[in-house]
C-alpha cells in the first residue's frame, strides 16, 4: 500500500519534458548533458551543424539565433525554452511568451540584462550596489574631456569575453572610444573579481552556490581561472551572497544566473554584471557540487525542486583557450600527462575549429586543499595546450 502511494506521488510522465536550448555552444552542451542524464528530450538551435551541443542533443534546428521562424520551430518541438547566450532575438521570444510558451529566464528579464545600461539602472534603482555610471548624449572632444579618467566604456549590447569593453586612460584615448551606443563606468580598483551562481525557481525559491574568485588573463582579459571557494573572509562572503540574491530577486528572474562582482580595495561589493544563464564561473559545480549549475537549470525550467549547492571539495577550474598561432581542427597536446594529475577532470567542447584564445574546453581539479588544486592547475597550464592543424602567423 505504502509503496503504491509513493509510486503515484513520484511518477512523472515520460518523456519528462522536451527542452529547447537556444544556442549550441559549450554552455548549451553541458546543459544538454545534464538534461540527457535525466532522460529529457533536447533540441538545440544553432547555425553550426557541428556545434558542441549537437553532439548531445536529440535534435538540432540549424539557423541563426535571430531567425524568428527558427525560434518558433524550436518552440513548437519543446515544452520549455531556455538559452545559453544573451545575444538572441528577444522580440520573437516576447511574442512567444505572450502566446503562452514557457521561456526561462523570461524575455522581459533578458531584455533588461541584454542592455548593460538598462541592467545597471534597474539594479541601481533597486538598491543593488553597482559602479557609478553615466551616458554621454553625444561623444565629442568636449564631452569626452570632461570624463574622469581612467574610465571604462562598455557597449550597451552585444559584448562578451571582454569584447565591447575598453578602458580609456586619458582624453588622448578618444580614438579608442567605442562609437556604438555605450555607457561609461567608473574604473574600479578591485582586490578581486568574484562570482556566484544563483538559482531561482518559478515559485521564487532561491539557492546560492559558493562565492568564487575569477582570475583574468592579463593579455586576453578572458576569465582564465576560477577558484572555489574565494579566498575572502566569512563576512565578505556573506555580503556578496546577500547582494547577489537580492539582485536576482529585484529582477524577479527565474533560471540560473551568474552574478559577477568586484571586491573593491575598500572591501565593498559592487555588482559588475549578471548573465541570465549558466556561467563560466560555475563550470566547477559539475564535479564540486552534488547538483551542478546545469542540472539546476534543467530542474528550474521544468518546475522540479532545487538541488543542493554546497561545495563538496575545494576546486580550481582552468579555461583551455586556443593556443595563439593556431587555427584549423583542434589538436590536444599533453592530455595523458594532464590526466595523470590526481583529481583532474577534463572537458572538451569539441568545437570544429580552434582559434587563438577561443574557449575550447576546461579542466577542473578537486583537492582537499585549494592551494594544492591551484598549484596543480599551474602545472597543467604548462602541459595541456590546444593547438590546431593550421599554423597562423598572427596571434
Which residue's Cβ has the minimum distance to ligand ATP? 188
The interface partner of residue 325, options being Mg ion, ligand ATP, none and the CB cut-off 5 to 8 Å by kind, is none
Residue 154 interacting entry, from Mg ion, ligand ATP, none, C-beta within 5 to 8 Å by type? ligand ATP
With a CB cutoff of 8 Å and minimum separation 6, the contacts of 21 are 28, 31, 32, 42, 43, 44, 45, 53, 57, 81, 82, 83, 84
For ligand ATP, the closer CB: 80 or 194: 194
How far apart, in whole angstroms, are the C-alpha atoms of residue 33 and residue 21?
A: 12
- Residue 36, C-beta contacts closer than 8 angstroms, at least 6 positions apart: 42, 56
Q: Which secondary structure element, helix H or strand E, spans residue 26, and what is its range? A: helix 26-37
CB of 217 to ligand ATP, least distance (A): 10
Select 56 or 195, whichever has its Cβ closest to Mg ion. 195
Of 156, 162, 25, 32, nearest to 85 (Cα)?
25
The site map against Mg ion for 252-291 (x = CB under 5 A) is --------x-------------------------------
Task: Count Cβ atoms within 10 A of the Cβ of residue 297 and give its class: 0-12 exposed, 13-18 middle, 19 or more buried.
Answer: buried
Q: Take residue 174 and report the three cell numbers written for it.
A: 578618444
Give min distance, CB of 173 to ligand ATP, in A.
Answer: 15
Closest contact distance (angstroms) between CB of 273 and ligand ATP is 5
For residue 185, the partner it binds in ligand ATP, Mg ion, none, with Cβ less than 5 to 8 A by kind, is ligand ATP
Q: Tell me whether residue 96 or residue 259 sits nearer to ligand ATP (CB atom).
A: 259
Least distance in angstroms from the C-beta of 230 to Mg ion: 16
Q: How far is the CB of 97 from Mg ion (least distance, A)?
A: 26
Please tell me the distance from the alpha carbon of residue 112 to that of residue 121, in angstroms, as a whole number.
9
Note whether 246 and 269 are within 8 A (CB).
no
Which CB atom, from 73 or from 188, has the smaller least distance to ligand ATP?
188
* Grid coordinates given for 218: 592579463
DSSP 8-state symbol, 148? P
Residue 110 parent element (H or E) = helix 107-114
Cβ closest to ligand ATP, residue 15 vs residue 181:
181
Q: What are the grid coordinates assigned to 143, written together?
A: 564631452
Q: Which does 160 bind (CB under 5 to 8 A by kind): ligand ATP, Mg ion, none?
A: ligand ATP
Q: At closest approach, how far in Å is the CB of 260 from Mg ion?
A: 5
Q: Are strands 41-46 and 18-22 parallel, antiparallel or unpaired?
A: parallel
Nearer to ligand ATP, 79 or 273 (CB): 273
Kindly state the cell numbers that stand for 70.
Answer: 527558427
Q: Which of 50, 100, 91 is nearest to 71 (CA)?
A: 91
- Cα–Cα distance measured from residue 354 to residue 357, given in angstroms and rounded to the nearest whole number: 8
- Residue 364 parent element (H or E): strand 359-366
**Which of 260/367 has CB closer to Mg ion?**
260
Count of positions on this chain that bind Mg ion (CB under 5 A): 1
Q: Smallest distance, Å, CB 151 to ligand ATP?
A: 8
Q: Under the rule (CB under 6 A), what is the footprint of ligand ATP? A: 131, 152, 154, 159-165, 185-188, 193, 216, 221, 223, 260, 272-273
165 binds, among ligand ATP, Mg ion, none (CB under 5 to 8 A by kind): ligand ATP
For Mg ion, the binding residues (CB under 5 A) are 260
Amino acid at each position: 500500500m505504502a509503496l503504491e502511494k509513493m509510486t503515484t506521488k513520484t511518477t512523472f510522465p515520460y518523456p519528462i519534458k522536451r527542452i529547447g536550448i537556444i544556442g549550441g555552444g559549450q554552455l548549451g552542451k553541458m546543459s544538454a548533458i545534464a538534461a540527457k542524464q535525466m532522460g529529457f528530450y533536447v533540441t538545440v538551435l544553432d547555425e553550426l551543424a557541428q556545434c558542441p551541443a549537437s553532439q548531445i542533443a536529440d535534435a538540432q534546428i540549424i539557423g541563426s539565433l535571430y531567425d524568428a521562424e527558427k525560434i518558433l520551430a524550436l518552440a513548437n518541438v519543446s515544452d520549455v525554452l531556455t538559452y545559453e547566450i544573451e545575444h538572441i532575438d528577444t522580440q520573437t521570444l516576447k511574442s512567444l511568451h505572450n502566446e503562452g510558451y514557457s521561456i526561462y529566464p523570461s524575455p522581459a528579464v533578458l531584455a533588461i540584462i541584454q542592455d548593460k545600461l538598462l541592467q545597471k539602472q534597474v539594479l541601481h534603482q533597486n538598491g543593488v550596489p553597482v559602479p557609478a555610471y553615466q551616458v554621454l548624449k553625444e561623444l565629442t572632444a568636449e564631452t569626452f574631456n570632461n570624463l574622469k579618467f581612467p574610465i571604462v566604456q562598455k557597449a550597451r549590447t552585444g559584448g562578451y569575453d571582454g569584447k565591447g569593453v575598453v578602458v580609456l586612460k586619458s582624453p588622448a584615448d578618444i580614438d579608442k572610444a567605442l562609437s556604438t551606443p555605450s555607457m561609461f563606468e567608473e574604473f574600479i580598483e578591485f582586490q578581486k573579481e568574484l562570482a556566484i551562481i544563483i538559482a531561482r525557481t518559478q515559485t521564487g525559491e532561491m539557492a546560492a552556490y559558493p562565492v568564487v574568485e575569477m582570475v583574468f588573463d592579463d593579455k586576453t582579459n578572458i576569465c582564465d581561472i576560477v577558484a572555489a571557494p574565494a579566498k575572502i573572509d566569512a563576512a565578505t562572503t556573506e555580503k556578496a551572497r546577500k547582494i547577489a540574491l537580492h539582485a536576482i530577486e529585484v529582477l524577479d528572474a527565474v533560471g540560473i544566473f551568474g552574478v559577477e562582482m568586484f571586491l573593491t580595495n575598500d572591501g565593498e561589493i559592487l555588482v559588475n554584471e549578471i548573465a541570465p544563464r549558466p556561467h563560466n564561473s560555475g563550470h566547477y559545480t559539475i564535479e564540486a557540487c552534488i547538483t551542478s549549475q546545469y542540472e539546476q537549470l534543467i530542474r528550474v525550467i521544468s518546475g522540479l525542486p532545487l538541488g543542493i549547492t554546497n561545495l563538496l571539495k575545494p576546486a580550481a577550474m582552468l579555461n583551455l583557450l586556443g593556443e595563439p598561432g593556431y587555427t584549423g581542427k583542434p589538436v590536444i597536446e599533453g592530455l595523458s600527462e594532464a590526466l595523470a594529475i590526481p583529481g583532474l577532470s577534463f572537458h572538451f567542447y569539441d568545437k570544429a575549429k580552434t582559434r587563438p584564445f577561443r574557449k575550447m574546453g576546461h579542466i577542473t581539479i578537486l583537492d582537499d586543499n585549494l592551494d594544492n588544486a591551484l598549484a596543480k592547475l599551474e602545472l597543467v597550464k604548462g602541459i595541456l595546450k590546444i593547438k590546431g592543424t593550421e599554423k597562423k602567423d598572427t596571434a
